[in-house]
Structure 1
Amino acid sequence: MLQPNMLDGQQHQLEMSQNTPESEMAKIRDDEFESKSGSENIEGASGDDQDPNQRPRKKRYHRHTQLQIQEMEAFFKECPHPDDKQRKELSRELGLEPLQVKFWFQNKRTQMKTQHERQENAQLRADNEKLRTENLRYKEALSNASCPNCGGPTAIGEMSFDEHQLRLENARLREEIDRISGIAAKYVGKPLVSYPLMSPSIPPRSLDLGVGNFGAQPGLGVGGGGEMYGAAGDLLRSVSGHSEADKPMIIELAVAAMEELIRMAQLGEPLWVPSLDNATEILSEDEYIRVFPRGIGPKPAAFNTEASRETAVVIMNHINLVEILMDVNQWSSVFSSIVSRAMTLEVLSTGVAGNYNGALQVMTAEFQVPSPLVPTRESYFVRYCKQHAEGTWAVVDVSLDHLRPGPVLRCRRRPSGCLIQEMPNGYSKVTWVEHVEVDDRAVHSIYRGLVSCCLAFGAKRWVATLDRQCERLASVMASNIPAGDIGVITSPDGRKSMLKLAERMVVSFCAGVSASTAHTWTTLSGSGAEDVRVMTRKSIDDPGRPPGIVLSAATSFWLPVPPKKVFDFLRDENSRSEWDILSNGGVVQEMAHIANGRDPGNCVSLLRVNSANSSQSNMLILQESCTDSTGSLVIYAPVDVVAMNVVLNGGDPDYVALLPSGFAILPDGAPVQSGVHCGSLLTVAFQILVDSVPTAKLSLGSVATVNSLIACTVERIKAAVSCEST
């Protein structure tokens, strides 16, 4: 079939009268399409060619054949606006006149536009009804407010700050309804609906939920009493799934946690004091207990406190950031190196006015460090999102472990989260607070320094990861190929497909390193090497992985070399032959390079290993390297040449089978000297297909082979970096 030329296509539009009502236009379009497109074509003399004294000849209809319709439908999907050359070639292939082809495409475009407008009209009507419901709910909230303690009416007095905030919100909703109604009226002829503000005759009320203020003082923080009414009042009516006794408790905890987070983000000394090297801020526990005496109770025995705060400006607008944090799939994907598993158990409130303002979710998540020597941390918490001012949002988590019977508590989250403030040019200022109490006695000794200084799970790592991922997302969305990109990628679609494939590779790698309980890995006991964790998984009907039995082996160790040197050595294709057994001494050449961050180490590469043995075929390797102030990753996977060609041409990368291996490089947590970390913690991990039959039994020889492979790689790396450091 003829391939359409998308670059030379021209826009063709039907000229319609501007004075024709929209409903009449839709009817005209439908009539035209019935007579001219799809199944029939009109042939007859035009008005200019007819004798005005004669009656116009009856128009003859020529029905298009099924083959002609199919060919034009297929062409339309690729190019709705063919140019003259394409129309002539298509008419010649189908045995039609160019004018017939032109009319068919014009009418087809008109039909598609009409269908799209009808769908939009239906959506507008639904949105309009939703806003009406929200508006009426706010009216009812003020008229029916009652005290949850005694069940009686609330006290009548002067208009409270709470009611004032609700009135402002109601006015904003009314404006939104009027705007949407106006749009709907334009398309469907529905009269403009306008809702009045709440009647001034409604006596002003106040609402006291008896919520603890976590030691708040009047005039400090954001929200205050208004926070209690605007948040708790709405949330109480929308909480479901938990027992009636739990509902007020969850709301009370969420609202009070929000107030604590805002104050933790805003206060300075003496609550936060600088560390000895001025690199981080340290929480004064005595001051914290004085300022927030109630909280979620005293710290359990044998638990350590990890509290940190970090601020940065990231390349993403505040609305998109809020959406990422409140969508569990996006959140766990963006923070895949930290979040090994996440699930929303219950949505207690979706928020108001179509956004996440007031959204409340009960969640469970598991947090990880990319090493088998650091146990994952499981947390059961409520997440609450609130808009505090125009362009200012906050998202807070706080543990709900006291509501869920379960295993022995190992970690609980005191109010943690972030304050997001809108900045010019689509940027956002993020202040992140991470505050947990944890039993970390199971952490391996070489990682205790990293964990205790809050670089493993602290705010600095969350913010650094977010900043790097925002840069990566900006790179994915780039419409033109930047000058820094080189190699065989020639189109934006190919670039996006390759970045998407690399993202899946990174997520898969992180999932197979820390042995999270969420994944389908099974840890093997007695695998032959005490310092290597070996896991197995059966891959069946997974288009993203080759079918069969997959082994994952990971080990971590300390190196007396700064993390940056280790990172630069492992990501450099010129030094790959010094540690990569698979390259087998071949020459490694970079075929494609995609820069996706400010640091030159943040990039995605396609490597070709030219085998030293001419009888062996060359191998392609997809690699992503990424680094920030808290750690680095170098992840790679062999890829099929045919499948990679599809990706480079913009094809779907989801069906490319990958088994990623690679490295996680972290600082050792020792005191920084002259601004540089002196030692590194390196995790080496492999995923290997040991049998292509998923039902086969795992042999001990396969485990021994994997152990030998990882041990040999570790020794090569130690030898190479030791030579460089001397």
Structure 2
Amino acid sequence: MGSDGGGSSGNEQHTSVDATRREKKTCHRHTPEQIERLEACFIDCPHPDEIQRQELCRELNLEADQVKFWFQNKRTQSKAQEERSANLILRGENERIRCENEAMLEALKSVICPGCGGPPFGMHERNHNVQKLRLENAFLQEQRECMVSDICMGKPIQPTMVDSKASGQGQQIFDTRISYGTNSTNIFQQSSSSGPPTCENIQPQPLSERDIAQLSETAAVAVEELKRLFFTEEAFWVQSSIDGTYVIDQQSYEKFSHATRHFRSLSARIESSKDVAVVPIEATKLVEMCLDSEKWKELFPTIVSKAKTIHVLGSDKENSNVLQVIWEQLHILSPLVPARDFMIVRCCQKIDEGTWIVADVSHSIVNFDQVNASCFKRPSGCLIQTLPNAHSKVTWIEHVEVDEKSEAHKMYKELLRGGSGYSAKRWIVTLERMCERMTLSSILTIPPNDWSEVIKTGEGRRSVMKLGARMTKSFNEMLSMSGKVDFPQHSKCGVRISVRLNTEPGQPSGLVVCAASCLSVPITPLQVFNRLRNFVNRQEWDVLSYGRLVAEIARVYTGTSETNCVTLLQPEKTENAGIFMALDSDKNDLAIVQDCYMDDLGGMIVYAPIDTTTMKIAVSGEVDPFNIPILPSGFTIASNGRRSMSAPDAENGGHYGRDDGGTLLTVAFQILLSGLEAKGRELNEKSVDAVNGLISSTVQRIKVMLNGSSCE
């Protein structure tokens, strides 16, 4: 009995503890306001860090675990929903393909031979022919790769691959003399049509009336959608809790647009942003530049690396209703950031007196295999409004779906996903800078702010500005480092090297090695910019100065900020300068042209050597600067994109987020590797190793100068 009584008492105690635990596990339901705020944060950042979670706890009066578990559950729920949607789409696609296969198999049973009218090949014969074609294709690909490799390494081309004439050309042997100079030797005359898309292999295709009607309808829908996004801000725009920028509320957007996602993978995301500025350019001139591919590239040289108008489907004298099909390639910052290719329909519509909408939207009507299928532009573009005194108000919207199949390096992930990548703000700050530059370039006299020992006329000043602009554009086009022969063994060491055959006008002809390296330094972008731009410190890192002091002999401002200018530099003349590498011109006959700028998102410093004779021609203004051969190198400077949560204040420019001070720096060189004098050595990996050593030593010197950390 005693034992039973003890057991009964124990059971009662356990029952009491369990009841207490159940009471403590009572679920806490979030209020609708809390859920709405958490949903908005989740759209901006599904993986908030500790600081962001603490901020939400204070704002919503929740426990840290509640916020943490809510985000975990939300991510799980979103993933499950995406997987279910993807499964439904795949099932439908699988059923469609199965039906098509059955129809084709049924049709093959009754097909006849077009040559003789007899019965078709049997399954065995067809499989044999397919296998034979695959083997032949593999053999041709192998032959082509060997031929391209031999050409770029300077080896003779085997006569079994090409005809005797090409084989004779293949006997050309190149010297390994590394040169920054302007050697005009054109070693190769042949080029390959393969590779990534270029303006040459993107060719117009005929359009049917149905295609034109579909393009017109697509453009009209895009314009109407942009009108709603421009003029009904409160309905579709929310302020990001991360950096205070405005992004599209996707739930509201999908209700009115009925948009469907083009990418269903877990790596896909949607980028949306809006920005506005007043720029010193007439609205009609800006609209005209938007509708001209060449002027479009000049207007955004650090974003648009390539562009071509494929079709013009409608136009008028006043640009009040224009429809175009355009291919463009966008690239920024670094070889570690993949380029984005778009085939878009662009519509310019005058919606009011002095007001235009320029709308861009991707389409699948004009298909090209070369166009990148990992990004899709939803209706995006700008609203251009006329203002007095030859000014314009420009409101810009970017709305893009991205599927990061070729993902950017981890150093640039946060920057691209924030407001500093391919965002509306980048388009706006670039537009502001270039409009200021065009305004100053139109001045026929030398402004009082400019200073020069060598530039004497307004035409000479304009010539130097054009030369600097061409350097920046050429440097940005080189940064993608695509369509060339790469050396992956150096990429593993943090240096990306590629070789190209240069035939571009205005650049030295021959074999050019491009080398780039990226590093992260723990100081602000402006500090990095100022230290690299300081010509007193240039001897610490620039091999062109040979350890000599560099003097500034001219400065031409290209914007209202003192950071935006073109400068002419000249190393001090000495008879005992140490020679780091051989140059075409004498070491005491060297000048450096440098173009630099700094804006809200970062900056760029681009420079190139020229001999003093060429410099005198450039500053005279008597020769078109586009005819001066020049090979630029330089730096891109950007914030690392990491922001901390903070309330808007005056010290922070009224923005919600502030940078943590880190900088992403890209160092890129272009070096000529060909000449006529020395033909005794063969171009091989030793030349590439020399270039790798050059850029590695330069990066180390820059790290010491900036007190930077190791490359991440």
* TM-score class, shorter: 0.5 to 0.7
Query: Which residue among 462, 467, 485 is the counterpart of 2:450?
Result: 485
Q: In structure 2, what is the Cα distance between the partners aligned to 1:646 and 1:299? A: 53
Q: In structure 2, what is the Cα distance between the partners aligned to 1:470 and 1:626? A: 13
Q: In structure 2, what is the Cα distance between the partners aligned to 1:458 and 1:493? A: 36
1:570 aligns with 2:553: no
Q: In structure 1, what is the Cα distance between the partners aligned to 2:671 and 2:492? A: 17
Q: Please name the residue that 2:216 is paired with.
A: 251
Deviation at 1:498, TM superposition (A): 0.7
The one-letter code matched in structure 1 to 2:630 is L
1:311 aligns with 2:273: no
1:647 aligns with 2:618: yes
Query: Which residue among 370, 375, 383 is the counterpart of 1:411?
Result: 375
Contact kept, 8 Å, 1:668 with 1:679, in 2: the verdict is: yes
Q: In structure 2, what is the Cα distance between the partners aligned to 1:380 and 1:711? A: 38
Task: Assess, with a 3 A threshold, how the Cα gap between structure 1 residues 579 and 240 changes in structure 2: closer, same or farther.
Answer: closer
1:439 aligns with 2:403: yes
Deviation at 1:340, TM superposition (A): 1.4
The aligned runs of 1:210-359 (5 Å cut-off) are: 241-276=206-241, 279-293=244-258, 295=259, 299-302=263-266, 303-349=268-314, 351-352=315-316, 354-359=317-322
The one-letter code matched in structure 1 to 2:298 is S
Query: Which residue among 682, 687, 692 is the counterpart of 1:707?
Result: 692
Task: Assess, with a 3 A threshold, how the Cα gap between structure 1 residues 698 and 370 changes in structure 2: closer, same or farther.
Answer: farther
Answer 1 or 2: higher relative contact order, Cα 8 Å, separation at least 6: 2
Q: In structure 1, what is the Cα distance between the partners aligned to 2:295 and 2:273? A: 24
Contact kept, 8 Å, 1:563 with 1:680, in 2: the verdict is: yes
Q: Please name the residue that 2:328 is paired with.
A: 365
Q: 1:311-360 deviations in whole A, cap 9, x for unaligned? A: 000010101110111000010122121111111111111x22x1322111
Q: 1:489-531 deviations in whole A, cap 9, x for unaligned? A: 11001001111111111111111111245xxx43334347542
- Aligned identity (percent) is 37
Q: In structure 2, what is the Cα distance between the partners aligned to 1:286 and 1:319? A: 36
Task: Assess, with a 3 A threshold, how the Cα gap between structure 1 residues 522 and 333 changes in structure 2: closer, same or farther.
Answer: farther
Q: Please name the residue that 1:376 is paired with.
A: 339
Deviation at 1:464, TM superposition (A): 0.5
Q: In structure 1, what is the Cα distance between the partners aligned to 2:474 and 2:434? A: 16
How many residues of Structure 1 are paired with residues of Structure 2 in the alignment?
Answer: 480
Q: In structure 2, what is the Cα distance between the partners aligned to 1:286 and 1:480? A: 55
The aligned runs of 1:442-457 (5 Å cut-off) are: 442-457=407-422
Contact kept, 8 Å, 2:641 with 2:659, in 1: the verdict is: no
1:469 aligns with 2:431: no
The one-letter code matched in structure 2 to 1:357 is S
Q: In structure 2, what is the Cα distance between the partners aligned to 1:248 and 1:348? A: 10
Task: Assess, with a 3 A threshold, how the Cα gap between structure 1 residues 253 and 528 changes in structure 2: closer, same or farther.
Answer: closer
Q: Please name the residue that 1:26 is paired with.
A: none
Aligned to 2:643, the other structure's residue is in SS state coil
Aligned to 1:582, the other structure's residue is in SS state helix
Q: In structure 1, what is the Cα distance between the partners aligned to 2:708 and 2:412? A: 25
Q: 1:189-248 deviations in whole A, cap 9, x for unaligned? A: xxxxxxxxxxxxxxxxxxxxxxxxxxxxxxxxxxxxxxxxxxxxxxxxxx9931232222
Q: In structure 2, what is the Cα distance between the partners aligned to 1:342 and 1:698? A: 34
Deviation at 1:266, TM superposition (A): 2.0
Deviation at 1:301, TM superposition (A): 3.1
1:601 aligns with 2:566: no
Q: Please name the residue that 2:630 is paired with.
A: 658
Contact kept, 8 Å, 2:574 with 2:588, in 1: the verdict is: no
Contact kept, 8 Å, 1:419 with 1:432, in 2: the verdict is: yes
Deviation at 1:278, TM superposition (A): 5.4
The aligned runs of 1:580-595 (5 Å cut-off) are: 580-595=542-557
TM-score (norm 2): 0.64
Q: Please name the residue that 1:555 is paired with.
A: 517
Contact kept, 8 Å, 2:589 with 2:612, in 1: the verdict is: no
Task: Assess, with a 3 A threshold, how the Cα gap between structure 1 residues 297 and 305 changes in structure 2: closer, same or farther.
Answer: closer
Contact kept, 8 Å, 2:262 with 2:401, in 1: the verdict is: no
Q: In structure 2, what is the Cα distance between the partners aligned to 1:668 and 1:703? A: 30
Deviation at 1:431, TM superposition (A): 0.3
Query: Which residue among 494, 499, 510 is the counterpart of 2:460?
Result: 494
Deviation at 1:647, TM superposition (A): 1.4
1:385 aligns with 2:348: yes
Deviation at 1:402, TM superposition (A): 5.5
Deviation at 1:710, TM superposition (A): 0.8
Q: 1:554-606 deviations in whole A, cap 9, x for unaligned? A: 12121111111111111111111121122122111110000111111100000
Q: In structure 1, what is the Cα distance between the partners aligned to 2:689 and 2:540? A: 22
Q: In structure 2, what is the Cα distance between the partners aligned to 1:336 and 1:342? A: 11
TM-score (norm 1): 0.63
The one-letter code matched in structure 1 to 2:390 is G
Aligned to 2:489, the other structure's residue is in SS state coil
Contact kept, 8 Å, 2:263 with 2:403, in 1: the verdict is: no
Q: 1:605-641 deviations in whole A, cap 9, x for unaligned? A: 0001114545751420000011111120000000121
Contact kept, 8 Å, 1:611 with 1:617, in 2: the verdict is: yes
The one-letter code matched in structure 2 to 1:416 is S
Task: Assess, with a 3 A threshold, how the Cα gap between structure 1 residues 547 and 409 changes in structure 2: closer, same or farther.
Answer: closer
Deviation at 1:700, TM superposition (A): 1.2
Q: 1:158-199 deviations in whole A, cap 9, x for unaligned? A: xxxxxxxxxxxxxxxxxxxxxxxxxxxxxxxxxxxxxxxxxx
Aligned to 1:395, the other structure's residue is in SS state strand
The one-letter code matched in structure 2 to 1:684 is V
1:622 aligns with 2:593: yes
Task: Assess, with a 3 A threshold, how the Cα gap between structure 1 residues 607 and 240 changes in structure 2: closer, same or farther.
Answer: closer
Deviation at 1:292, TM superposition (A): 1.7
The one-letter code matched in structure 2 to 1:603 is C
Task: Assess, with a 3 A threshold, how the Cα gap between structure 1 residues 405 and 507 changes in structure 2: closer, same or farther.
Answer: closer
Q: 1:672-708 deviations in whole A, cap 9, x for unaligned? A: 5754451111110000112225999532121011111
Contact kept, 8 Å, 1:534 with 1:553, in 2: the verdict is: yes
Q: In structure 1, what is the Cα distance between the partners aligned to 2:708 and 2:383? A: 46
Aligned to 1:359, the other structure's residue is in SS state strand
Q: Please name the residue that 2:508 is paired with.
A: 546
Aligned to 1:494, the other structure's residue is in SS state helix
Q: Which runs of 5+ in 2 are unaligned?
A: 1-203, 578-586, 647-651, 653-657
Deviation at 1:300, TM superposition (A): 3.6
Contact kept, 8 Å, 2:491 with 2:497, in 1: the verdict is: no
Task: Assess, with a 3 A threshold, how the Cα gap between structure 1 residues 507 and 321 changes in structure 2: closer, same or farther.
Answer: same
Deviation at 1:405, TM superposition (A): 6.0
1:425 aligns with 2:389: yes
